[in-house]
């Protein structure tokens, strides 16, 4: 216990340096003025919290700009003008015959399509998630089309009880209807994948034959594919596409150079700091308290956005039905999912509330990090859309209406922050995604069951 | 046809019943979906064979009874429990949803349907329906269908062991690769749930890279791949030089290319677990040559070895290595797997790894469809220490205890500080050693449910309070009190079925039903109330009374009557599996009444009651192990194979060896059916 605090203090002191406004001198950075002006790209993050929230202390009573912070949203109070609280959105297609309380809602959260009920391995989300749609449009301009982060391993097994493979609860990002993205849960591996090259003494060795090796195995996969049946071929396409994607990354020297040139001295300083924090974190026993781990993942996400390694990321605080032990929070004596079935008992509701407030606190941390980074006259946060959401409102009732959603950032100047909006009842969640897509000039005519854009959130 | 009054009464009664039972049928919806796969097979196959031997005509005899007794609640307008039996106007449709109808027969047979309240079927209707539907289903299954298995990527476990057996490097794949889900039977070797993503490819690449680096730095391991250091002797160089004067296109003697062939081809065919094709040989040697040409700054043997290293890397990320490939010849209907494919199925089943030389030899000589050979191989493989991998991979996933080795907390560390990582690993190991012993020594799988021994090292022994174990080695320890004998008394199972701060009799009860008896209780109603987490309430009331309160709710009762007693019988084990006699103030009352009224006292008597459910236990083993062996969920079409497996257990005192022999000889294990979907071209 003691040790954790030491780390946090040390880290805070070190972090101070990066938190003060940074001198703006990078020529390759976004923003700038005059002829060197380059409009910063829009970054997107989708943060998922399982098990819902305390329904009575979430939505501010006052609509519009003068809203008050409810107990669960209180950690965001310093960011009033950076956020929008969005009420009464609902993912209609998470409700279907055979749908259960959790899996059907989490797996469809970013796709807005009903998942196929199965306890077999024939999983199908029937949709592509919004983050992957963004990645499909802007991904080729960055090193990584998208990044998928989380805290927990995939939950294995099948929930025979409700008739769903648990895998559904462990993925919100779907590259294709049949293929969930794998998520990184280890800060060390996540960091190294992006930034190892820039840390003294951690550089990977020179590997001149990577391309030929990848070519050879791609060839293997192609000839193998010809001798297989249809569904095996589909399976092998995943392999082929992975090769394409990695080849594209390592052969796109322009992107690589662009990326390297964006690692400014400031970014490098921050890289070294985060790298060291990860080292310290790894040395400790990863106990019940996941605050430090969450923040490290957010530090990495911030760095990825800052250096334009990627423009879209998802983050799962836990898998669906997560029963994380939250006793590390003051006043909480149990586990997340159990507490979410609070039966309206005041003392359990209080614990439930504190757990969501902890999540919002971490969200606020990420917002703070992004806001501390300048991009020309704006901040990284201004050029982002950082969404926090759960797939349920009240976990006790598995209620899919009026989802708890907060959207931070101005999306490059398109979003109208600083307001509490309550949409007409049961407004389609897909409308929000459609609006977010349009706000970054991804002009798809429709997203799942969308039926309008939400002009209310736009400037 | 129906009297309106009667219909109304039926509806009323049915609806009351269904409030409790409907969910049971929900599970069968997914089963129906799975059975859809089977549809196409049946449509195909029924042409080939004239089905006969049905006891009753479906349309003339069975439908009238169904429409009188079942349709009132299960019709197109009113699908109670999501089941519409009116939909099955023709026999073929019934057959195509065989799995659902198997459940229908089961419900009728056990007299769960029609609901008691409504009055039972007459004896005549009862036998007509049960025998009639059964005979239709059985007749339809005479044509064998082995099902199909989606191509499977090596699970992280299998990757670990395959690398170990192939090159001798112990690579921790589980913590390095992004985790996989699991499907079907709940195992991590099910093809559909084994995805490939760019992130995974990167990790496979980096893994191959570090494995090769380890090999290059370990002379003895490297020698196993490149037995003779490559170098051209002075006279060979001389001859080659002279040859080169006379021709640009000369045959180099002892050329690096031909030496590389001797190394790469045996290595790759071991890694791909089959013979290489001509173009594969050319490709690998070609890659070697191009790397070799570029590495001219090095001198041999380093130049040769470094170039070989790149080829090995290629092999280790090739889909031929990473996937268990079963090629599909253009064949209609079921066909036997190739001998190499059988060797792979066998070794990944019983060793979680690649075949060894003997299996390769048998595949080469085409003897792996010979049942005597298969039997001998199963015995040999079980006797090999590698069978412990099977014991571990299967048992820990089956029992759901593999999360003990993850770095995530299970019991609350403040309340239970002794439940630390070393203890967790020891409890995990206890279960694995125990399972391994049952598999290879005791030869009675019922000992998994009850016995008078366990396996312990000093850590486990201290924890349980057992005498006579002083060191870190696990050994068999007799139990004076048999409460702990079997998986139900193991800390691993007891802790993983508990919440961090308290036990969950409901979880434990559900676990017994699902994992040991293979019964899945229906899901809780949408609005469920969970038990209070207030520790004070537990100390004062005792969990049993709290649960009784819970069960007073009629919506909960029907299922909790089944689950709770099973879990309550284990209440003497606390959330980390330690023995306790009280909760603090209230004493533990481990007595219970099963749904059928049988009373019992504590874990010992509970286990004896469970052992009476031999048929359910047998079916559970058959389903779980067949699913694990095949890498897919079991289907309705596996019914004939499952029946044989059940019989094998029941007739041979649950002997695992005979059972596994029966399994690998089974039709779905040795045969395959082509994908019915059209192949895409190119």
- The verdict on a CB contact (< 8 Å) between B400 and A157 is yes
Task: Say yes or no to pLDDT of B606 above 90.
Answer: yes
Is A12's pLDDT higher than 70? no
A54 vs B: CB within 8 A = no
Chain B residues close to A247, C-beta within 8 Å: none
Which of B47-61, B161-175, B414-428, B531-545 is the least confident region? B531-545
**How many structural domains compose chain A?**
1
Question: What pLDDT is stored for residue A20 in this prediction?
Answer: 38
Average pLDDT, integer, range A386-408: 93
pLDDT band, very low/low/confident/very high, at B522 (cuts 50, 70, 90): low
C-alpha distances in Å from residue A186, one per residue of A282, B178, B198, B627: 9, 9, 17, 31
Contact B181 A165 (CB under 8 A): yes
pLDDT interval class at B583 (50, 70, 90): confident
Cβ distance A120 to B529 less than 8 Å, yes or no, reads no
pLDDT at A363: 98
| Inter-chain CB proximity A180 and B406 less than 8 Å | no
Residue B217, pLDDT score = 93
Interatomic CA distance for residues B233 and B210, integer angstroms: 32
For residue A218, tell me if it sits in a domain: no
Cβ–Cβ gap A334/B500 under 8 Å: yes
The answer on pLDDT for A161 being more than 50 is yes
Model's pTM, two decimal places?
Answer: 0.80
Element (H, E) at B663: helix B656-665
Q: Checking DSSP bridges between strand A384-390 and strand A405-408, what pairing results, if any?
A: antiparallel
Domain with A62, as residue range(s), is 2-197+254-457
pLDDT in tens, A262-302: 888 889 989 989 998 888 887 665 568 899 999 999 999 99
**Chain B within 8 Å of A203 (Cβ-Cβ)?**
no
pLDDT over 70, % of chain A: 90
Residue range A162-187: mean pLDDT, rounded: 88
Whole-number Cα distances in Å, A407 to A45, A157, A377, A385: 10, 33, 21, 7
Taking only the tens place, the pLDDT of each residue in B388-446 is: 999 999 999 999 898 888 767 788 888 898 998 899 999 999 999 999 999 999 889 99
Would the pLDDT of B15 be above 50? no
Using one digit for the tens of pLDDT, what is the confidence trace for A20-49? Answer: 333 333 445 565 555 556 789 999 999 999
Give the model's pLDDT for residue B148. 81
**Cα dihedral A229, A233, A234, A237 in deg (nearest 10):** 180
pLDDT confidence band for B29 (50 / 70 / 90): very low
Residue of chain A with shortest Cα separation from B672: A229
Is the four-CA dihedral B290, B295, B296, B300 of positive or negative sign? negative
pLDDT score of A244 more than 50: yes
CB B413 within 8 A of CB B375: no
Q: Quick one: average pLDDT of B563-579?
A: 89
Structure confidence at residue B39 as a pLDDT band (50, 70, 90)? very low
A149 forms bridges with which residues in the sheet?
A: A184, A315
Q: Which of A38-52, B530-544, B603-617 has the lowest mean pLDDT?
A: B530-544
Average confidence score pLDDT of chain B: 83
CA distance A219 to chain B (A): 9
With contacts defined as CB-CB under 8 Å, which chain A residues touch B284? 216
Quote the pLDDT of residue B525: 53
- pLDDT bin (cut points 50, 70, 90) of residue A66 is very high
Structural domain includes residue A220: no
Answer for the pair B503, B575: CB distance below 8 angstroms, yes or no: yes
Best mutation target among A104, A120, A196, A289 (most B Cβ atoms within 10 Å) is: A120
Q: What percent of chain B has pLDDT over 90?
A: 44
CB contact under 8 A, B534 and A347: yes
Sort out which chain A residues have CB atoms less than 8 A from B280's CB and list them.
220
Q: Is the pLDDT of residue B539 over 80?
A: no
Is A245 part of the contact surface with chain B (CB cutoff 8 Å)? yes
- DSSP-derived letter for residue B439 is I
The helix/strand/coil state of B336 is strand
- A399 in any annotated domain: yes
* In a domain? residue A204: no
d(CA B120, CA B103): 18
Find the mean pLDDT for residues B671-682.
63
ipTM over 0.90: no
> Which of the listed ranges A264-268, A406-410, B248-252 does the model predict with the highest average pLDDT?
A406-410
A7: pLDDT strictly greater than 60: no
Asked if B632's CB is within 8 angstroms of A325's CB, the reply is no
Mean pLDDT of all residues belonging to chain A: 87
Under an 8 A CB cutoff, do B29 and A117 touch? yes
Euclidean distance between CA atoms B678 and B326, whole angstroms:
17
Cβ-defined contact of A175 to B197 (cutoff 8 Å):
yes
Per the model's pLDDT, the better-predicted residue between A360 and A157 turns out to be A360
DSSP A391-406: S-S-TTTT--SS--EE
Please say if the pLDDT value at position A329 is more than 50: yes
Q: Is residue A294 part of a domain?
A: yes
User: B-chain residues within 8 Å CB-CB of A397?
Assistant: 526-527
User: Which phi and psi (to 5°) does residue A388 adopt?
Assistant: -115, 135
The region of weakest confidence among B37-46, B115-124, B482-491 is B37-46
Question: Would you place residue A75 in the very low, low, confident or very high pLDDT band (cuts 50, 70, 90)?
Answer: very high
pLDDT at B347: 97
pLDDT at B213 over 50: yes
Q: Is the pLDDT of residue B249 over 90?
A: no
CB of B459 closer than 8 Å to CB of B475:
no
- A337 domain-assigned: yes
Question: What is the reported pLDDT for A283?
Answer: 60
B192 closest CB neighbour out of A123, A186, A233: A123
Confidence (pLDDT) at B537: 54
Per-residue model confidence as pLDDT tens digits over B301-318: 889 999 999 999 999 999
Residue A59 sits in a domain whose CATH number is 3.40.720.10
pLDDT of residue B47: 35
Q: How far is A66 from chain B (nearest CA, A)?
A: 36
- Give the mean pLDDT of B110-131: 81
Binned at pLDDT 50, 70 and 90, residue A119 comes out as: confident
Output the pLDDT for position A359: 98
Q: Is residue A235 part of a domain?
A: no
Looking at residue A258, its pLDDT comes to 85
Number of H helices, E strands in chain A: 12, 13
* Cβ <8 Å between A246 and B197: no
Phi first, then psi: what are they for A96, rounded to 5°? -155, 170
Cβ contacts of A120 on chain B, cutoff 8 Å: 30, 34, 183-184, 190, 192, 632-633
Comparison of pLDDT for B626 and B256, the residue scoring more: B626
For the segment B338-362, the average pLDDT, to the nearest whole number, is 96
DSSP letters, B43-108, are HHHHHHS-----SS-IIIIIHHHHHHHTTTTBSSS-BGGG--GGG--SHHHHHHTHHHHHHHHHHH
Of A243-252, A313-322, A391-400, B619-628, give the lowest mean pLDDT range. Answer: A243-252
B34, B195, B524: best mutation site toward chain A, by most A Cβ within 10 Å? B195
Q: What is the pLDDT of residue B677?
A: 55
Alpha helices in A89-209 (DSSP H): 103-106, 130-138, 187-195
For residues B662 and B652, is the Cβ–Cβ distance under 8 A?
Answer: no
Please indicate whether, in this complex, the C-beta atoms of B520 and A323 are within 8 angstroms of each other: no
Q: pLDDT tier at B99 (50, 70, 90 boundaries)?
A: confident
Kindly report, residue by residue over A200-224, the tens digit of the pLDDT: 877 777 788 888 899 999 999 998 8
Percent of chain B with pLDDT over 70: 84
Ramachandran angles phi, psi of A179, nearest 5°: -130, 105
- Residue B50 pLDDT greater than 80, yes or no: no
A339 to chain B, any CB pair closer than 8 A? The answer is yes
Q: Which of residues 133-162 of A touch B (CB under 8 A)?
A: 148, 152-158, 160-162
B chain contacts of residue A183, beta-carbon cutoff 8 Å: 178
Which tops the pLDDT comparison, A254 or A283? Answer: A254
Neighbouring CB atoms inside 10 A of B276's CB total: 18
Does the distance separating the beta carbons of A160 and B319 come in below 8 Å?
no
Provide the shortest C-alpha distance from residue B630 to chain A (in Å): 13
- Residue B120 or A365, more confident: A365
Q: Residue B519 pLDDT more than 90?
A: no
CA A174 to each of CA A111, A125, A164, B197, B572: distance values in angstroms, whole numbers, following the listed order: 8, 7, 17, 11, 45
């Amino acid at each position: 216990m003691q040790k954790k605090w030491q780390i946090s203090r040390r880290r805070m002191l070190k972090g101070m340096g990066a938190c003060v406004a940074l001198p703006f001198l990078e020529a390759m950075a976004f923003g700038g003025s005059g002829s060197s002006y380059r409009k910063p790209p829009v970054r997107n993050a989708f943060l998922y919290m399982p098990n819902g929230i305390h329904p009575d202390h979430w939505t501010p009573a006052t609509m519009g700009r003068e809203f008050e912070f409810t107990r669960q949203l209180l950690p965001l109070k310093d960011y009033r003008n950076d956020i929008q609280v969005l009420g009464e959105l609902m993912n209609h297609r998470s409700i279907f015959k055979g749908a259960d309380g959790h899996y059907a809602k989490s797996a469809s959260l970013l796709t807005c399509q009903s998942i196929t009920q199965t306890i077999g391995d024939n999983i199908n989300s029937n949709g592509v998630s919004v983050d992957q749609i963004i990645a499909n449009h802007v991904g080729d301009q960055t090193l990584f089309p998208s990044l998928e982060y989380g805290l927990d391993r995939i939950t294995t097994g099948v929930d025979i009880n409700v008739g769903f493979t648990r895998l559904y609860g462990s993925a919100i990002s779907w590259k294709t209807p049949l293929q969930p993205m794998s998520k990184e849960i280890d800060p060390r591996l996540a960091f190294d994948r992006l930034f190892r090259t820039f840390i003294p003494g951690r550089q990977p060795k020179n590997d001149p034959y990577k391309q030929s090796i990848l070519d050879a195995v791609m060839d293997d996969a192609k000839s193998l594919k010809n001798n297989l049946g249809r569904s095996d071929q589909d399976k092998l396409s995943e392999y082929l596409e992975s090769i394409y994607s990695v080849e594209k990354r390592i052969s796109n020297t322009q992107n690589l150079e662009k990326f390297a040139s964006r690692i400014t001295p400031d970014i490098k300083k921050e890289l070294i700091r985060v790298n060291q924090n990860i080292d310290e974190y790894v040395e400790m026993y990863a106990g019940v308290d996941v605050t430090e781990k969450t923040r490290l993942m957010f530090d990495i996400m911030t760095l990825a956005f800052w250096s334009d390694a990627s423009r879209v990321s998802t983050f799962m605080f836990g898998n669906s039905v997560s029963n994380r032990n939250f006793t590390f929070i003051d006043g909480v004596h149990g586990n997340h999912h159990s507490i979410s079935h609070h039966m309206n008992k005041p003392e359990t509701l209080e614990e439930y509330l504190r757990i969501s407030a902890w999540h919002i606190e971490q969200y606020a941390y990420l917002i703070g990090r992004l806001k501390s980074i300048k991009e020309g006259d704006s901040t990284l946060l201004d050029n982002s859309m950082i969404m926090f959401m759960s797939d349920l409102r009240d976990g006790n009732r598995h209620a899919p209406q009026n989802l708890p959603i907060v959207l931070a950032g101005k999306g490059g100047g398109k979003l109208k922050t600083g307001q509490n909006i309550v949409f007409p009842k049961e407004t389609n969640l897909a409308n929000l995604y459609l609006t977010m897509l349009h706000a970054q000039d991804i002009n798809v005519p429709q997203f799942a069951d969308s039926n309008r854009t939400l002009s209310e959130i736009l400037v | 046809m129906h009297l309106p009054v009667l219909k109304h009464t039926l509806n009323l009664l049915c609806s009351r019943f269904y409030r409790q039972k409907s969910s049971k049928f929900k599970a069968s919806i997914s089963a129906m979906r799975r059975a859809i796969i089977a549809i196409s097979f049946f449509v195909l196959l029924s042409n080939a064979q004239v089905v006969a031997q049905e006891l009753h005509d479906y349309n003339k005899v069975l439908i009238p009874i169904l429409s009188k007794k079942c349709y009132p609640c299960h019709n197109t307008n009113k699908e109670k429990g999501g089941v519409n039996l009116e939909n099955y106007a023709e026999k073929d449709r019934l057959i195509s949803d065989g799995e659902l109808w198997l459940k229908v027969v089961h419900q009728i047979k056990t007299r769960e349907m029609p609901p008691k309240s409504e009055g039972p079927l007459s004896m005549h209707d009862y036998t007509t329906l049960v025998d009639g539907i059964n005979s239709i289903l059985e007749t339809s299954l005479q044509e064998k269908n082995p099902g199909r298995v989606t191509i499977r990527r090596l699970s992280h476990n299998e990757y670990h062991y395959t690398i170990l057996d192939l090159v001798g490097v112990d690579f921790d794949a589980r913590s390095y690769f992004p985790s996989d889900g699991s499907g079907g039977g709940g195992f991590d070797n099910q093809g559909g749930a084994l995805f490939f993503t760019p992130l995974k490819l990167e990790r496979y690449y980096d893994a191959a890279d570090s494995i090769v680096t380890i090999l290059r730095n370990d002379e003895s391991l490297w020698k196993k791949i490149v037995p003779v250091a490559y170098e051209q002797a002075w006279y060979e160089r001389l001859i080659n030089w002279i040859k080169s004067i006379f021709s640009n296109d000369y045959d180099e003697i002892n050329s690096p290319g031909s030496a590389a062939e001797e190394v790469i081809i045996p290595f790759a065919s071991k890694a791909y677990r089959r013979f290489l094709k001509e173009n594969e040989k050319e490709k690998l040697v070609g890659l070697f040559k191009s790397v070799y040409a570029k590495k001219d700054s090095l001198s041999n043997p380093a130049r040769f070895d470094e170039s070989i290293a790149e080829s090995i890397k290629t092999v280790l990320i090739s889909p031929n290595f990473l996937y268990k490939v079963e090629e599909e010849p253009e064949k209609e209907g079921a066909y036997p797997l190739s001998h190499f494919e059988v060797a792979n199925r066998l070794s990944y089943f019983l060793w979680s790894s690649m075949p060894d030389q003997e299996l390769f030899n048998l595949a080469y000589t085409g003897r792996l469809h010979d049942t005597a050979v298969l039997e001998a191989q199963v015995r040999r493989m079980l006797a090999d220490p590698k069978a412990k991998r099977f014991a571990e991979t299967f048992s820990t996933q089956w029992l759901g205890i593999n999360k003990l080795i993850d770095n995530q907390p299970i019991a609350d560390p403040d309340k239970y500080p002794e439940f630390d990582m070393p203890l967790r690993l020891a409890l995990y190991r206890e279960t694995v050693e125990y399972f391994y012993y049952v598999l290879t020594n005791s030869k009675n799988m019922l000992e998994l449910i009850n016995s008078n021994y366990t396996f312990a090292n000093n850590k486990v022994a201290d924890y349980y309070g057992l005498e006579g174990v002083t060191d870190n080695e696990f050994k068999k320890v007799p139990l004076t009190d048999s409460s702990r004998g079997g998986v139900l008394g193991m800390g691993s199972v007891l802790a993983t079925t508990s919440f961090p701060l308290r036990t969950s009799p409901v979880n434990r009860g559900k676990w017994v039903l699902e994992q040991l008896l293979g019964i899945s209780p229906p899901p809780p109603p949408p609005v469920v109330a969970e038990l209070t987490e207030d520790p004070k309430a537990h100390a004062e009331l005792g969990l049993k009374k709290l649960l009784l309160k819970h069960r007073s709710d009629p919506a909960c009762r029907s299922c909790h009557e089944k689950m709770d007693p099973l879990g309550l019988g284990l209440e003497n084990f606390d959330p980390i599996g330690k023995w306790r006699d009280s909760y603090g103030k209230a004493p533990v009352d481990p007595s219970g009444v099963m749904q059928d009224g049988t009373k019992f006292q504590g874990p010992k008597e509970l286990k004896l009651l469970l052992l009476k459910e031999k048929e359910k236990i047998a079916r559970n083993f058959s389903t779980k192990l067949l699913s694990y062996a095949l890498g897919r969920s079991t289907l309705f079409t596996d019914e004939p194979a499952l029946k044989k497996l059940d019989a094998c257990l029941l007739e041979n005192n649950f002997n695992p060896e005979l059972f596994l022999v029966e399994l690998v000889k089974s039709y779905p294990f040795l045969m395959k059916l082509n994908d019915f979907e059209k192949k895409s071209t190119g």
